[in-house]
């Protein structure tokens, strides 16, 4: 919006919003932006349900107060929403978007999270990983089944306890809760996969040593012109 106003200076005189809290979620940010629009571009913010005359200091002060009250109201709503989410999670009810392989359905008034057709195919990926098959091979097999995902996402799936029926979320502060959703795999298989991945960690790739006995002064000798350390 600000870019449009800058490009069309002297053509825009007012910005209409339904409520002032629709203009910005941040009180101080809204005050800075409205001041910039008003003083640099001659543009006035007008809330059709909260008309305020900002052509005088009293009106500007009143509008700024409304911006702050709007931010407070938004933060209060957010706090209540987070409290509600935490309460549901502690009861084992996942109220967010389910991960890949799951679909949220409605049965009457009840929301259920069930394994979908993609999840049934992903179940094979978990079994393959438990057997020690490498991720690259698993990705090829999934692709042949019509599932295209990147390697990092596959690794994240293997480390997500949601698939074995456990809810872990940062809002729970490290607490693990048994979920009410359908399990894709058993907890035993999840632990087996964890052990397979732990055993393979560091097995592949190049190990980098910070210190090398052949170059004992490598970290200390630097070029007197550019200041960079010597590398060889």
pLDDT, residue 216, reads 63
Higher pLDDT, 97 or 221: 97
Higher pLDDT, 7 or 194: 194
Pair (115, 192) in one structural domain: yes
Mean of the pLDDT values across residues 197-212? Answer: 62
Domain total in the chain: 2
- 139 is a domain residue: yes
- 221 is a domain residue: no
State the burial class of residue 94 (Cβ atoms within 10 Å of its Cβ: 0-12, 13-18, 19+). buried
Which runs of consecutive H residues, i.e. helices, occur in 17-171?
27-41, 57-90, 117-130, 135-144, 151-158
- Radius of gyration of the chain from Cα atoms? 28
Q: At residue 8, what are phi and psi to the nearest 5 degrees?
A: -120, 45
Is 124's pLDDT higher than 90?
A: yes
Higher pLDDT, 9 or 78: 78
Question: Which domain covers residue 21, as residue numbers?
Answer: 2-90
Pair (21, 82) in one structural domain: yes
pLDDT, residue 209, reads 58
C-beta neighbour count of 97 within 10 angstroms: 8
Is 136's pLDDT higher than 70?
A: yes
Higher pLDDT, 179 or 5: 179
Higher pLDDT, 203 or 131: 131
CATH number at residue 180: 3.90.1750.20
pLDDT in tens, 37-57: 888 888 888 888 888 888 888
Pair (115, 83) in one structural domain: no
pLDDT, residue 212, reads 64
pLDDT, residue 85, reads 92
pLDDT, residue 204, reads 45
Beta bridge partners of 110: 107
Pair (115, 170) in one structural domain: yes
Percent of the chain with pLDDT over 70: 88
**Any residues with CB less than 8 A from the CB of 22 and at least 6 apart, and which?**
47
Pair (76, 166) in one structural domain: no
Higher pLDDT, 11 or 216: 11
- 224 is a domain residue: no
- 20 is a domain residue: yes
Is 206's pLDDT higher than 50?
A: no
pLDDT, residue 168, reads 93
CATH number at residue 83: 3.40.50.1390
Mean of the pLDDT values across residues 89-113? Answer: 93
């Amino acid at each position: 919006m600000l870019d449009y106003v800058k490009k069309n200076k002297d053509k825009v005189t007012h910005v209409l919003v339904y409520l002032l809290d629709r203009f910005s979620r941040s009180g101080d940010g809204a005050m800075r932006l409205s001041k910039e629009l008003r003083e640099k571009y001659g543009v006035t913010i007008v809330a059709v349900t909260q008309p305020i005359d900002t052509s005088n200091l009293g009106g500007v002060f009143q509008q700024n107060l409304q911006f702050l009250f709007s931010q407070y109201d938004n933060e209060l709503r957010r706090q209540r929403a987070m409290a509600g989410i935490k309460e549901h999670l502690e009861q084992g009810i996942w109220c967010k978007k389910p991960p890949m392989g799951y679909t949220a359905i409605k049965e009457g008034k009840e929301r259920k999270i069930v394994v979908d057709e993609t999840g049934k195919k992903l179940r094979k990926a978990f079994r393959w990983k438990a057997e020690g098959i490498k991720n690259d091979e698993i990705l090829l097999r999934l692709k042949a089944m019509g599932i295209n995902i990147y390697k990092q996402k596959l690794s994240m799936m293997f480390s997500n306890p949601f698939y074995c029926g456990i809810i872990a979320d940062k809002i729970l502060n490290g607490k693990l809760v048994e979920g009410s959703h359908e399990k894709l795999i058993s907890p035993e298989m999840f632990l087996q996969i964890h052990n397979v991945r732990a055993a393979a960690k560091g097995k592949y790739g190049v190990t980098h040593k910070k210190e090398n006995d052949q170059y004992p002064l490598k970290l200390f000798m630097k070029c007197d012109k550019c200041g960079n350390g010597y590398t060889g």
